[in-house]
Structure 1
Amino acid sequence: MIARSLLGAAAGLLLFVSGAWGALALSYQLPGPPPLRVVGAALWSVAYLALLIAFFGWRAWWAPLSGVILLGLLMAWWVTIQPRNDRVWADDVAHLLSGEVQGDHVILHNVRNFTWRAEDDYDARWETREYDLAHLVSADAVLSYWSSEAIAHAMLSFGFDDGRHVVFSMEIRREKGEAFSEVGGFFKQFELVLIAADERDIIRVRTNVRGEDDYLFPLRMPREAMRSLFVSYVSAANRLVVAPRFYNTVTSNCTTIVYRMARRIDDGLPMDIRLLLTGYLPEYLMDNGALDKRMPVDEWRRLGRITDRARTSHADDDFSAVIRQGVPPAVLSDASPSSGDSTLKPFAANADR
């Protein structure tokens, strides 16, 4: 009797969860205008509600079987939805980054260098830039808080000894008129895009235009690790050019992708809830040796808050130098990843608007 009750409860739960998932999937991906998607989701919900009533009210044996058949048909359609690179994209994600690496010489195509005045008022520039990895001297985590203290968008900025910086940021690739949705990120609403951008563009748009609160944390890692991580970003960008991927809020976002890249350098990098709740990423960085322990995390936060400096910067300022005023540089380690030194614990990044 107990086993039968448990089996019935499990079947009912499966019907409910699959019904809710199906309704959301249809509301986001059913072809046609939004009203048609709403109607499709509503019809699916009514059908599943009827199956629940039939199962729990009438003990109809065919109700779970019918639910499985409906779900199978939906899944057969779902797997046909594939990521694409040929949609009508928003201007700030219109071009795909690609790169060429020949020894220390790197050429990046489609580096973004917008001048932002408002979300819908900007000068769009996409540039080809060249870098010499022999002159790579720093890597900084940049966290941009836009929701709560637990949620931040994380980026990685690489610095060269001539004062130049380039920021890599894994983000959603929005179509024109489309807005970020965490729920939509579960239902193939967005493709992934890897942006390389000038700091004045990608940091300033967040602090000065979107009203976000940004922090910079100098990372402590060997130079060879910085180089390897830089090259892994270029490789990831090139793969997205030939094989587009969907963003997923949990399984395929900037957290998981950058974590996988970092694991290529240090396979001992631990999984941690702070890789999803990246507002707490500085604590993870310190625990894993990437943030210098000469100061507590709160002091790094205080010194690394760059929001006000970004907002008061002028067009003719050296933006990268201005935002780093008062931020102590990292003490670099020359240890190799295989030496057992825990100074190589690169970070992973989270949800990207």
Structure 2
Amino acid sequence: MPPVPVQPRRLLGRVAGIVARALGLLLALGLAAFGALALWSHAPGGRLAAAALAGLWVVWVGAGGLLASADPRSWRAWGLLAAGCVLLGLWWSSITPSNDRVWAADVSRTLRAERNGSEVLLHNVRNFTWRSDDDYTARWETRRYDLDRLRSVDMALSYWMGPAIAHTLVSFGFDDGRQLVFSVEVRKERHERYSALAGFFKRYELALVAADERDILGVRAQVRGEDVYLYRVHMPAPAMRALFEQYLGEAEELHATPRFYQTLTANCTTIVYAMMQRIVPGLPLDWRLLLSGYLPGYVQEAGALTPGYSLQELQARGRITERAQHAGSDADFSAAIRQGLPVHPR
């Protein structure tokens, strides 16, 4: 076999060097960005300390990336980057979820269920009276429901940040007129504020809240200034019951094993989708599961919204914001917000 010419060897060496430099820079940039944001989200001592730690991390990883770019065969460069990976991984794995923190009042308790045939006894059902986000009367109640009397499922969307982002809630209706809402929430600590960015970095635990509609829909429309919509979801009775029981199972799991909220993969919509997949296998993935403000279009295409109406009609008649504001804390809140809501096929 004839020897390989010198020129191709040099060319291959140059290509390999360029690839190695690019990999070093990409690794450094990825480590720098992830580590800095994670430290910013978790570092103790306030924002100044967090900024200092994030800055030191960027300098460390940046030095390794620059050295690797200048000389891809430098063991010092790759040693710095490898040490950074190991240290970051060890620290990241040490951050674990907990049920024992000083929680904000509205997520301070976990839902517990006792089952006896078709009857369920729910402990810690939230029924607050809200005057403002900081002024409220807290009530946690024990309620009994008979799943044989379950008659309806409604999807509520509460828009809090533009048309693409909404909080997803599911309300179950019983033949005595009572409604019970389940909501997957960020479990904030007392005096903690929500940040979608921090939600990527193990900053918050998950909470599953069961609440009265006057509480959980009312506070969003009346106190927080959110725009709230309600849609009837048409499901056969066994599927409605299965979904209710999925929520109870999720609550039991969170009580036993806390989990982190994750802005992209473990949020108020994706967890409901995962529960529905167990009931309706093959339910397709869709970009609207992430941009939940557009979720009604996805549900309509799946054939689960009230038939005979366009999506625009369902949205117009399902907007309950003003009805919820006028209903206040009325005992007939659930009936009042459903005035004009399409619940039967046209």
Query: TM-score, with normalisation over the residues of structure 1?
Result: 0.91
Q: Where in structure 2 are the equivalents of 1:1-353 lying within 5 Å?
A: 1-57=14-70, 60-330=74-344
The one-character-per-residue Cα deviations of 1:62-93 (angstroms, maximum 9, x if unpaired) are 31331122121111121111100110000011
1:22 touches 1:71 (CA, 8 Å); kept in 2?
Answer: no
Cα distance in 1 between the residues matched to 2:218 and 2:299: 24
2:173 touches 2:180 (CA, 8 Å); kept in 1?
Answer: yes
Give 1:27 deviation, angstroms.
1.6
Higher mean C-alpha deviation, range 217-226 or range 69-78: 69-78
Residues matched between the structures, number = 331
Give 1:61 deviation, angstroms.
4.4
Where 2:283 maps in the other structure, the secondary structure is: coil
Give 1:330 deviation, angstroms.
4.4
Cα distance in 2 between the residues matched to 1:40 and 1:81: 17
Give 1:317 deviation, angstroms.
4.3
Cα distance in 1 between the residues matched to 2:328 and 2:133: 19
The one-character-per-residue Cα deviations of 1:98-137 (angstroms, maximum 9, x if unpaired) are 1122221011110000000101010000001110111100
Where 2:161 maps in the other structure, the secondary structure is: strand
Where 1:118 maps in the other structure, the secondary structure is: coil
Give 1:58 deviation, angstroms.
5.4
Residue ranges of structure 1 left out of the alignment (5+ in a row)? 332-353
The one-character-per-residue Cα deviations of 1:295-348 (angstroms, maximum 9, x if unpaired) are 1100000000000101111433400000000012146xxxxxxxxxxxxxxxxx
1:101 touches 1:231 (CA, 8 Å); kept in 2?
Answer: no
Amino acid at match of 1:158: F
Cα distance in 1 between the residues matched to 2:241 and 2:235: 10
Cα distance in 2 between the residues matched to 1:231 and 1:330: 25
- For the aligned residues, what is the CA RMSD? 1.4
Where 1:139 maps in the other structure, the secondary structure is: strand
Cα distance in 2 between the residues matched to 1:117 and 1:83: 31
Cα distance in 2 between the residues matched to 1:276 and 1:243: 25
1:219 touches 1:330 (CA, 8 Å); kept in 2?
Answer: no
Question: Which protein has greater RCO, CA pairs closer than 8 Å, 6+ apart?
Answer: 1
Give 1:254 deviation, angstroms.
2.5
Cα distance in 2 between the residues matched to 1:71 and 1:15: 10
Query: TM-score, with normalisation over the residues of structure 2?
Result: 0.92
Cα distance in 2 between the residues matched to 1:10 and 1:53: 11
Cα distance in 1 between the residues matched to 2:119 and 2:30: 51
Where 2:245 maps in the other structure, the secondary structure is: helix
Residue ranges of structure 2 left out of the alignment (5+ in a row)? 1-13
The one-character-per-residue Cα deviations of 1:6-25 (angstroms, maximum 9, x if unpaired) are 33212211111111111111
1:23 touches 1:42 (CA, 8 Å); kept in 2?
Answer: yes
1:141 touches 1:219 (CA, 8 Å); kept in 2?
Answer: yes
2:65 touches 2:81 (CA, 8 Å); kept in 1?
Answer: no
Cα distance in 1 between the residues matched to 2:280 and 2:329: 40
